[in-house]
Structure 1
Amino acid sequence: MTGKLSRLLRTTAFTALLVLGATWQSPATARTAEHGYAALPKQQQQLIDDLEQRTFEWFWHSADPKTGLVPDSAPGHSFSSIAAVGFGLTAYGVGVERGYITRAQAIERTLATLRFFSNAPQNDSEDDAAGYHGFYYHFLDMRTGKRAMRSVELSSVDTTLLLGGVLFAASYYDRDTPQEKEIRQLADAIYRDVDWTWMQPRKPLISMGWTPGGRFIPADWKGYDEGMLVYILALGSPTHPVGSEAWQAWLSTNHLTWGAFQGQTFLNFAPLFGHQYTEVWVDFRGIRDAWSREHHLDYFENSRRAVYSQRSYAIANPGHWTGYGKNVWGLTASNGPGDFVEKSGTGEHQFNGYTARGAGLDYISDDGTIAPTAAGGSIAFAPEIVIPALQEMKQRYGQWIYNEYGFVDAFNPSFHIKTDLRTGKLVPGLGWVDTLQLGIDQGPIVLMIENWRSDFVWKVMKKNPYVRKGLERAGFAGGWLGTGTPAQ
């Protein structure tokens, strides 16, 4: 059981000039691509401007202004996803920098959020807690702020994604005012309270989670996946740090997924969220740990290759799904039409609801469902192929898949079964189209757009001493970290 399976366990519906047909760029060229907004044609600039603001507005309008809780999905009734809260806390800073909201508005919302989590009950009860040992439940009730349901785990990775936003707030709000001082104090306390060593029933690895009654999930974060940020923050803790051997334990199975797929040689993780989540907050360009030094690339370049491999997979289209091509691609954890089997003259097709779709050496899960966040959240890695993809999907399907909050979570032009759907709708002549946006898919879009445009989130997080310490204890050096001996 690996990190990708944690997404399967979810119960919720959830530069060079950039031209069409762009080809592979060398790593040296890739390093300049993130500043290519000014080189874009006006139409593409307008697309990025519009998508970034609409996606930001999803967080601003869907969050509860009193608690800061962000729903797992919207519109409609949903419980809160603590990971979505982390993306939201970071998005508010983007909103300030882009002029969508004022700094005072962002401070008010951020303070409400941090005060809620600081005061939320922490105990081992089934129903009367938001968390335990500094960790928080994956999903919280939007009204009470407590565990949303008994099937929900105390989640190490979702707490980590929440902490990404908490630590962003601690470093972004750096002015000498009472409100910004309180933000820094609350954020620091929330991070310090997380007892990472308690979440290690099988040291040196970190468990995926825990449920009341003392039951740790019988799986640990091991192998390249979104668990990368879990270990960085656990290593950087000033109060409950894990041993430096934890990083090597997490890396120990990398040899199983290092290899060639669709013309690219890289460390595979099939769904693109696994490449995006940590890199929303951490700029890996030019910094390397022992593993990446041995393989002569950094994790940013690794993610770039993963994006290209997904595009090549869509061009090859081994499943013969409708619409796939050089500018319509993207598999990641997302909503889907539901669990159905369709039989036709060409064979039997299995469709799924929410699942961790992806294509790589580790596995292939593909039912024709495209998630725009797979491309959109990868814009910092490969803008020259991502922007044409976003443009093509909007031009071809925008009437149904693009609304006031940007792209809907997913769509499937191959699904035409007339049946009752748990989520989304059937559009004649197109196929299945979702009617929701998911916070954990919206987050990478808005934050990676801004990282590509200005390095904004990355710049803020480079100032955070805990992130720096975690990276150094993991053995990272070079680049913006400097070339000193890694910390122990």
Structure 2
Amino acid sequence: MKRILLSTTLVSIFTFSCTNTQNANHKILKSQSLQRNITDEQLMDQVQKDALKYFWDYAEPNSMLGRERYHEDNIYPDNDKHVVTTGGSGFGLATILVGVERGFVPKKEAVKRLNTIMDFLKKSDRFHGAWSHWINGQTGKTVPFGKKDNGGDLVETAFLTSGILMVREYFKNGNTEEKMLAKKCDELWKGIQWNWYTKGGEKVLYWHWSPEYQWEMNFPLQGYNECLITYILAASSPTYSIDAETYYKGWTRNGTYLSNKEKYGLPLYVKHNGAEEYGGPLFWAHYSYIGLDPTNLSDKFIKNYFDLNKNQVLIDYKYCVENPKQWKGYGSNYWGLTASYSRNQDGSVGYDAHFPQNDRGVITPTAALSSFPYTPKESMDFLRFIYMQKPEFIGSAGPYDATSINYNNWTTPRYLAIDQGTIAPMIENYRTGFLWKLFMNAPEIRQGLKKLNFTSEKYDIK
């Protein structure tokens, strides 16, 4: 999984001070503005509005896509304020749709912005239809994620495409301008050559291809991690599709990715790559499921993807409550391990993929907040605690990316698109199923799921 393997190259190491007066005043005002009798619904509204700001107020100004990171302390590595992230921007598209649906942003303004985004993506560098992980928001040119990672990134493209398809579905029956937007989305979707990324017809998808380094990254997509949506979209493509054999031989490893292990009495169902004892970082239960509804969704090997995800989250929750490393603060209202900024031993800021087998005393708010569909009570307990009792962990765009009560209420006044971008969509899927309905009712997705022998009574997919 790239976000673990390349974590040391993602972010430069910085030190910072949490004494910024403006931020401190903001936190005080935020705390004062939230009354103790605020309802759960109002609190969910608040965090969704806050997370939306990342993609609405702090978007890269030319492309209007989501920046890789936004730092309130104004410290950036390599002057990357114009670096946009494709996967995080896909989550941002879903977040903007939530904003429109809830009336947080005017639909007309959203359509205008989304048109700008689609026009930019059309002109940006593409590699057999796939976008790179990072793009320069001013020029549309690839920004290398690593030395050899300077071409197409199929997984980040999948996260982006999921958002593009939901935008298409939301606006396809609208007015003339909205229909034009939907048409742009459709053209972008149909231009992705998913089957090219089988490296000449192998029965597995590959993550990367570079015109300079070809297939040297050599990272096949095999379960289980965050990449399921890549196979779903590849099978659903009306232009460059893969077959069911590629899914079952590649992703499921001919079924050998199944697991009979349990933790806390909860079956894991699958072997989480590199994390088979407890399951992986919680973004594995989020990224593929912004649009893909796991509720009673099954294929030939998994009876219910919702149970798979719910158990992963509950195992993470129970681990934090058990707290075998005795970190201060861990408990039923302060939990959740996933990839995010992290605290190095010297107090500086780094990046790490947190999960029970790599627990460093850092709680990442998106972990619990994006798990609302699976653990609504536990996630609400976290949401209420962090907003009502830890205002120092809240910034202008919602909860900061990483926190630790153990290290004297340490936090970093910074955000990452991939973390902030799943909060509003997954909370909305818990509240109304809004994005799940958009994605699951797309005609190509229905056909693709049927091709792969998925079933879902909820959407009459048999």
Pairs within 5 Å for 1:71-82: 71-75=67-71, 76=74, 77-78=80-81, 79-82=83-86
Q: In structure 1, give the amino acid aligned to 2:268.
A: F
Structure 1 residue 112 displacement after superposition = 0.5
Instruction: Give the alignment's Cα RMSD to 1 decimal.
Output: 2.2
Counterpart of 2:281 in structure 1 is 271
Structure 1 residue 304 displacement after superposition = 1.1
DSSP 3-state at the match of 2:309: helix
| Equivalent-residue separation in structure 1 for 2:373 and 2:55 (angstroms) | 21
Counterpart of 1:136 in structure 2 is 131
| Equivalent-residue separation in structure 1 for 2:362 and 2:455 (angstroms) | 39
DSSP 3-state at the match of 1:334: strand
Counterpart of 1:198 in structure 2 is 196
Counterpart of 2:355 in structure 1 is 358
Rate the CA distance shift 1:65–1:460 in 2: closer, same or farther, 3 A.
farther
Structure 1 residue 92 displacement after superposition = 1.6
Q: In structure 2, give the amino acid aligned to 1:279.
A: Y
Contact 1:13 1:73 in 2 (8 A): no
Counterpart of 1:282 in structure 2 is 292
Q: Does 1:45 align with 2:41?
A: yes
1:148-181 residue CA offsets vs partner (Å, 9 max, x unmatched): 2363442111011110111011100023533222
Q: Does 1:328 align with 2:359?
A: no
| Equivalent-residue separation in structure 1 for 2:2 and 2:68 (angstroms) | 19
Structure 1 residue 141 displacement after superposition = 1.6
Structure 1 residue 218 displacement after superposition = 1.4
DSSP 3-state at the match of 1:140: strand
Structure 1 residue 10 displacement after superposition = 5.6
Q: Does 1:377 align with 2:378?
A: no
Counterpart of 2:235 in structure 1 is 235
Structure 1 residue 258 displacement after superposition = 4.5
DSSP 3-state at the match of 1:414: coil
Q: How many aligned positions are there?
A: 416
| Equivalent-residue separation in structure 1 for 2:301 and 2:388 (angstroms) | 41
Counterpart of 2:399 in structure 1 is 407
Contact 2:317 2:335 in 1 (8 A): yes
Rate the CA distance shift 1:219–1:466 in 2: closer, same or farther, 3 A.
same
Q: Does 1:67 align with 2:24?
A: no
Counterpart of 2:252 in structure 1 is 251
Rate the CA distance shift 1:322–1:473 in 2: closer, same or farther, 3 A.
same
Gaps of 5+ in 1: 15-40, 121-129, 343-350, 416-428
DSSP 3-state at the match of 2:330: coil
1:119-148 residue CA offsets vs partner (Å, 9 max, x unmatched): 22xxxxxxxxx2211111101123222112
Counterpart of 1:38 in structure 2 is none
| Equivalent-residue separation in structure 2 for 1:6 and 1:182 (angstroms) | 40
Rate the CA distance shift 1:46–1:285 in 2: closer, same or farther, 3 A.
same
| Equivalent-residue separation in structure 1 for 2:62 and 2:212 (angstroms) | 31
1:172-221 residue CA offsets vs partner (Å, 9 max, x unmatched): 00235332222122111111111112111271111111233242221211
Q: In structure 2, give the amino acid aligned to 1:147.
A: T
Contact 1:68 1:85 in 2 (8 A): no
User: Which one of the candidate residues 87, 105, 111 is aligned to 1:101?
Assistant: 105
Structure 1 residue 453 displacement after superposition = 1.1
User: Which one of the candidate residues 316, 325, 333 is aligned to 1:310?
Assistant: 316
Counterpart of 1:449 in structure 2 is 427
| Equivalent-residue separation in structure 1 for 2:182 and 2:361 (angstroms) | 45
Q: In structure 2, give the amino acid aligned to 1:237.
A: S
Q: In structure 1, give the amino acid aligned to 2:418.
A: I
Contact 2:153 2:209 in 1 (8 A): yes
Q: In structure 1, give the amino acid aligned to 2:221.
A: W
375-384 vs 206-215, which moves further? 206-215
Q: Does 1:147 align with 2:142?
A: yes
1:17-51 residue CA offsets vs partner (Å, 9 max, x unmatched): xxxxxxxxxxxxxxxxxxxxxxxx84333321111
TM-score normalised by L of structure 2: 0.85
Structure 1 residue 356 displacement after superposition = 1.5
| Equivalent-residue separation in structure 1 for 2:380 and 2:399 (angstroms) | 14
Rate the CA distance shift 1:237–1:10 in 2: closer, same or farther, 3 A.
farther
Contact 2:67 2:85 in 1 (8 A): yes
Contact 1:13 1:335 in 2 (8 A): no
| Equivalent-residue separation in structure 2 for 1:148 and 1:199 (angstroms) | 20
| Equivalent-residue separation in structure 1 for 2:259 and 2:207 (angstroms) | 20
Contact 1:7 1:355 in 2 (8 A): no
| Equivalent-residue separation in structure 1 for 2:461 and 2:164 (angstroms) | 28
Contact 1:331 1:357 in 2 (8 A): yes
1:330-387 residue CA offsets vs partner (Å, 9 max, x unmatched): 111101123x379xxxxxxxx982122113xxxx111111100000000111101110
| Equivalent-residue separation in structure 2 for 1:292 and 1:13 (angstroms) | 39
Counterpart of 2:441 in structure 1 is 463
Rate the CA distance shift 1:329–1:70 in 2: closer, same or farther, 3 A.
same
DSSP 3-state at the match of 2:224: coil
Q: In structure 2, give the amino acid aligned to 1:317.
A: N
Counterpart of 1:179 in structure 2 is 177
| Equivalent-residue separation in structure 2 for 1:42 and 1:365 (angstroms) | 35
Structure 1 residue 321 displacement after superposition = 1.6
Percent identity reads 27
Counterpart of 1:209 in structure 2 is 208
Counterpart of 2:161 in structure 1 is 163
Structure 1 residue 436 displacement after superposition = 0.7
| Equivalent-residue separation in structure 2 for 1:48 and 1:483 (angstroms) | 31
DSSP 3-state at the match of 1:368: coil
Rate the CA distance shift 1:228–1:319 in 2: closer, same or farther, 3 A.
same
Counterpart of 1:397 in structure 2 is 390
Q: In structure 1, give the amino acid aligned to 2:433.
A: D
| Equivalent-residue separation in structure 1 for 2:301 and 2:261 (angstroms) | 14
Q: In structure 1, give the amino acid aligned to 2:46.
A: D
| Equivalent-residue separation in structure 2 for 1:94 and 1:300 (angstroms) | 22
| Equivalent-residue separation in structure 2 for 1:108 and 1:9 (angstroms) | 38
